[in-house]
Structure 1
Amino acid sequence: MATSRTCDGVRRRDFLKIGVLGGAGLTLSSYLRLAEAGAVRAGRATAAIHVHLGGGPSHLDTFDPKPEAPDGIRGEFAAIPTSIPGVSIGEHLPRLAQCADHYTILRGVSHSIAAHDLGTKYLNTGNRPLPSLDYPGYGAVVSRELASPRDIPPFVAIPNTPQVAGYLGVEYAPFSTQTAPRAGQPFNVRGISLGKGLTIEELGRRRELLRQIDRTFAGFESSGLIQGLDAFSQRAYDIISSTRSREAFDISRESRSVTRLFGRDPFSQSCLLASRLVESGVRFVALSHGGWDTHQDNFNRLKTRNLPELDAGLSGLFLALAQKGLLESTVVMVSGEFGRTPKVNARGGRDHFPRAMFVVMGGGGIAGGRVVGASDATGSGPASGPGFAPDDVAATLYSCLGIDPQAEYHTPTGRPVAITRNGSPIAEAFA
C-alpha cells in the first residue's frame, strides 16, 4: 500500500503515524508502557475492523452510482446489480456486488469539512475536530472498553492508522505493524517476531535487568507516562514471548479455503491478516488503503488499482469472517474522509466534496443487504434532511460493541467529554 501525498501537501504517512506525545512514533514497548484494558461491555460484537480509504473516495464511482445523471456527473463507469434486488454499485466492484448480503451501504453521509487532515480526524473519531482537544480514535476507545487477552495486542494497525489515543493517553494507542503482509512471504512484525538470534531466555534476562533498574529508581518521583512500568513490562513480555501472539500474525497458517478468497496485493493480504487477528482475540484492527485523492485521471486510477484492490480485499474480508463464524461478532466499517464532487473537472478528476459520501458497515449486528439513506439525483447531498453525520456513524459502531456512545470520559485536566458528542445510532442499519 503506497504512501501518497494529498493535494494539500500532507503526506499520507504524516497523519498515519501513531499518535503519542504530540505525534511521535510508537513502538510495541512504548505502546505497552501503561497498557491495561477496560471492562467488557455486553454487546453483540466483540471486535471491530475499520478500513480507512485515505484521500476521499468518489461515492458516485463506488457505492452510490448515478446512472441516470448527465454525462459530466455520472462519469465513465456503469452501475451493476448486486445480489440484493434493486441495489446497484459501481462496475469495478464485482466481488462486492456478489456478497452484498454481508453488508449495508450508508448513503447520504454528510459533513462540511473539505480538508484532508481535519476530515480524516472527523471520520476516525466521530467528533468534529476542535483545536483545543485531541479526540481518541475508535480503536483507542474500544481497547479501553473491551478487555483483551494479556498476550495479544488489543489495537493493531496494518500498516498504520490516522487514529490516535488522544486525551486517553498512550496506553490506548495502536500497535502499528509498519508494513503490510505480502502473499507467499513470511510476515515478521517488529516486536513480535524474535529476530537476530534473540531467544526467550535472553529476553527474560533483559526483563530482569529492567526490574533491577526499576527497584533502583523506585524512590524518585515519576510522571504519568512512566507510572505503571511494572504492568507494562509484564504485558510486553507476555506478548513478545507468546507463541499465540506470533502465530496470530502468521498468515501462512491460514487454510487454502480462506486464502483463496483474497487477492495477492498488500491490501488484500492485510484484510486476510485482520480476519486472523480478530480470530486470535485482537479487539480492534485498523486498515489503511490510500490513493483516493483523484483530482485528475480519476477513472483510470480507480479502475486499474484502487477499485480492484478494494474489491478483492473487502469482499475477501466479509467472506472470510463469515466462513470463520466471526461476522456476527465482528463489526466492519469502511470510510474515507469525504466524497468527491459530482461534476467531473477538466482534468478528468473529481475534487473534495464532504456534502455527500458513503460508509459501508457489516457484521456485529449490522443488517446485511441494505441501503440506508440516500443522496439526491446527482449525488450532491442527502436526498432529504441533513443526512447522517460522521457522529451518527461512530455512535452506530460503538453501539454494535455494547459501548454507550454518550458515556463520558475525563481529560487529564478533569474535563468531562462524551465519547461522541452529537451522534445517535442509525437504527435502520441494525439487523
Structure 2
Amino acid sequence: MAIHQTCDGVRRRDFLKVGAIGATGLTLSNYLRLANAGEIRSAKATSAIFINLAGGPSHMDTFDPKPNAPSEYRGSFDAIKTNVEGIEISEHLPKLAQQMDKFAILRGVTHSLAAHELGSLYVNSGNRPIPSIEFPSYGSVVSKELGGPDDLPNYVGLGNVSQKAGYLGVRFAPITASTAPKPGQPYLLRGVSLENGLTVTDASRRQSLLKDLDTTFKSAEKNSQLLDGLDRFGQQAYSMITSSRSREAFDTSRESPAYAERFGKTDFGMNCLLASRLIESGVRFVTINYGGWDTHKDNWDRLKTKQLPPFDEGLAGLLSGLAEKGLLASTCVFVTGEFGRTPKINTERNGRDHYARAMFMLMAGGGVKTGQVLGATDDRALGPVDAGFKPDNVAASFFANLGIDAHKEYQTNIGRPVMIVRDGEPISQLFA
C-alpha cells in the first residue's frame, strides 16, 4: 500500500453530544452495570475493527451531503438514497448505500485540532493529546483488557499502521502486516512484523537468545521489563510461525471466490478481506489504515477516481461479509478520519482544506443501533446544529460496546494514574 505524505509534511504509512447518560449524571461504570442487568439493551462486541482514514476525508462529499447548499459549498457530487428511508449519502458510495441498514452515521462530530498529527492522536485514542503522555491506541487497550489466544496476535495492523501502544508499552503494540494480500494468492507470514520493524523471524531468534540467557541469568531476567517484553514478543512470534491456525488465519486465498469477490482487488479491499478472516479466526482487534484523503487539490476527481471506489467496495464487503458469517453481532466496526474538510471550496486549487469543526464517524456491530443518523450539521455543514459529538464520547461508546469501562485507571511507567478515556461518556442513542 502506498505511503502518503500529508500537506504538513507528516509522512504516514497507509498510517457526540453526551446523551441522556451524561445529562443524568450516570457514569460509564453504572451504565455498564445497568447494561449487564438488562436495564439498557446493549449487546457487547467481543472483537473490533478500526478503520483509520488518514488525511481527513471530506464530510460533505461522503456521508453528510448538502445538495441544497450554495454552489460555493455544495461541490459536484449528488446525493443518493440508501436502503434506509430518509437517509442519503454521496452518489459515489452506491454499495454502502445498500448496506446503510448495517451501520450508523455520526454527523456533527467536532473538535479543534486541524493538524494531521494532533488530530490523528486524538481520534486514534479518544484522548486530546498532551505533551507529557502518549496515549495508547484503541487496539492496545482492547488487547490489554480482553487478551486473546496464545497462538494468534491480539492486535494486528494492516496497511502500514502508525498506531502505538503509548504508555502501555511494547507488549501491547500491534503486530503489523507490511503489505496487503494479493487476490487468490497465499499470504506469507514473513511479511508480518512487530513494532519498530521487528519481524517474526527476528523475534524467533530473540526467543532462542532469551532461552540461553535464562540458563545463565535467570535471576536478572526476573527483574528486567525489557527482557520480559522481548520474551513475550519472542514467544508470540514463535507461536505464530509454528501454528497452522495462525498461518491459515492470514491466508486469504482459503476464502471462497464467491465470498472474496465482494471485497474487490484493491489493497484496501484485500485488507478488509484479511480483517474479516482474522476476526473469524479469533484475532481480537484489527486496525486498517487507508490514507490519501488530504485533498487540498482536485478534491472531486481524486475522490471519484481513487479514494471512494475502493473504500465503498471494501467497507461494504466487510459489513456484508461479517453479517453473512454471523460475526457482525460480535464485532464492533469503527471508521473515522482525523477531521473533515472545509465546506467552502478552495476555488484556486479546486479542493477542500483542513476542518475540525465538523466531520463524520461510522459505527457498526455489537450493540450499535444501525440504520440511523445521529447528530446533524447546519445547512452548509459548517458545524453541528447543537453541541455535536466529541471524539472522547465516541471513544467511550466504542469501549462500552466492548464491555470496557473507559473510566478505568491505568498507571504509566512512572506510576501516574491515567483513565483510558479522560473525558467523555457513551452516546446512549447509539445503542439499540
Report the TM-score when normalising by structure 2.
Answer: 0.88
Partner of 2:59: 59
**Deviations for 1:259-303, whole angstroms, at most 9, x for unmatched residues?**
121111110010000000000111110001110000010000000
Change (3 A) 1:380 1:229: closer
Partner of 2:381: 379
Partner of 2:346: 345
What are the residue-to-residue correspondences of 1:166-245 with 2, within 5 Å? 166-190=166-190, 210-220=210-220, 223-227=224-228, 230-245=231-246
C-alpha contact (below 8 Å) 1:69/1:378 kept by paired residues: yes
Q: Distance in 1 between matches of 2:378 and 2:282?
A: 41
Deviation at residue 191 of structure 1 after TM alignment: 6.7
RMSD: 2.0
What are the residue-to-residue correspondences of 1:17-96 with 2, within 5 Å? 44-96=44-96
Change (3 A) 1:164 1:90: same
Partner of 2:29: none
Is the deviation greater in 396-405 or in 211-220?
Answer: 211-220
Deviation at residue 334 of structure 1 after TM alignment: 0.5
Change (3 A) 1:232 1:116: closer
C-alpha contact (below 8 Å) 2:206/2:234 kept by paired residues: no
Deviation at residue 218 of structure 1 after TM alignment: 2.4
Change (3 A) 1:99 1:3: same
Is the deviation greater in 4-13 or in 212-221?
Answer: 212-221
Partner of 1:112: 112
Partner of 1:33: none
Unaligned runs of 5+ residues in structure 2 are 16-34, 37-42, 194-202
**Deviations for 1:146-183, whole angstroms, at most 9, x for unmatched residues?**
02010000000002222210001110000010111122
Change (3 A) 1:350 1:208: closer
**Deviations for 1:14-66, whole angstroms, at most 9, x for unmatched residues?**
x93xxxxxxxxxxxxxxxxxxxxxxxx98621100011000000000000000
Could you say what secondary structure the match of 2:157 adopts? strand
Runs of 4+ that moved beyond 6 A: 203-206
Could you say what secondary structure the match of 2:111 adopts? coil
Q: Distance in 1 between matches of 2:424 and 2:146?
A: 21
Q: Does 1:159 pair with 2:159?
A: yes
**Deviations for 1:332-389, whole angstroms, at most 9, x for unmatched residues?**
00000000000010211000000000001101111110001111111000011x2100
Change (3 A) 1:205 1:78: closer
C-alpha contact (below 8 Å) 1:294/1:351 kept by paired residues: yes
Could you say what secondary structure the match of 1:55 adopts? coil
Out of 359, 365, 368, the residue aligned to residue 370 of structure 2 is: 368
Residue identity opposite 1:266 in structure 2: D
Unaligned runs of 5+ residues in structure 1 are 17-40, 194-202
Q: Distance in 2 between matches of 1:76 and 1:104?
A: 25
C-alpha contact (below 8 Å) 2:204/2:235 kept by paired residues: no
Q: Distance in 2 between matches of 1:157 and 1:342?
A: 32
Q: Does 1:319 pair with 2:359?
A: no
Partner of 1:300: 301
Change (3 A) 1:205 1:392: closer
Change (3 A) 1:343 1:207: closer
Q: Distance in 2 between matches of 1:56 and 1:234?
A: 38
Partner of 2:19: none
Could you say what secondary structure the match of 2:121 adopts? helix
**Deviations for 1:100-147, whole angstroms, at most 9, x for unmatched residues?**
000000000000001000000000000000011000000000000002
C-alpha contact (below 8 Å) 1:192/1:245 kept by paired residues: no
C-alpha contact (below 8 Å) 1:125/1:163 kept by paired residues: no
Residue identity opposite 2:77 in structure 1: F
Q: Give % identity.
A: 57
Q: Distance in 1 between matches of 2:155 and 2:229?
A: 19
Partner of 1:281: 282
Q: Distance in 1 between matches of 2:154 and 2:204?
A: 23
Could you say what secondary structure the match of 1:129 adopts? coil
Could you say what secondary structure the match of 1:301 adopts? helix
C-alpha contact (below 8 Å) 1:160/1:286 kept by paired residues: no
Change (3 A) 1:376 1:223: same
What are the residue-to-residue correspondences of 1:227-266 with 2, within 5 Å? 227=228, 230-266=231-267
Could you say what secondary structure the match of 2:225 adopts? coil
Change (3 A) 1:60 1:223: same
Partner of 1:197: none
Partner of 2:419: 418
Deviation at residue 215 of structure 1 after TM alignment: 1.4
Q: Distance in 1 between matches of 2:115 and 2:235?
A: 42
C-alpha contact (below 8 Å) 1:124/1:162 kept by paired residues: no
Q: Distance in 1 between matches of 2:295 and 2:180?
A: 23
Residue identity opposite 2:85 in structure 1: P
Change (3 A) 1:142 1:204: closer
Q: Distance in 2 between matches of 1:7 and 1:332?
A: 28
Deviation at residue 208 of structure 1 after TM alignment: 5.5
Deviation at residue 317 of structure 1 after TM alignment: 0.3
C-alpha contact (below 8 Å) 1:192/1:246 kept by paired residues: no
C-alpha contact (below 8 Å) 1:4/1:11 kept by paired residues: yes
Deviation at residue 234 of structure 1 after TM alignment: 3.4
C-alpha contact (below 8 Å) 2:204/2:237 kept by paired residues: no
Residue identity opposite 1:247 in structure 2: E
**Deviations for 1:213-257, whole angstroms, at most 9, x for unmatched residues?**
321232447532213655544333222210000000000001233
Change (3 A) 1:358 1:237: same
Q: Distance in 1 between matches of 2:97 and 2:191?
A: 39
Residue identity opposite 2:218 in structure 1: A
Partner of 2:137: 137
Q: Distance in 2 between matches of 1:229 and 1:379?
A: 49
C-alpha contact (below 8 Å) 1:139/1:284 kept by paired residues: yes
Could you say what secondary structure the match of 1:57 adopts? coil
C-alpha contact (below 8 Å) 2:159/2:179 kept by paired residues: yes
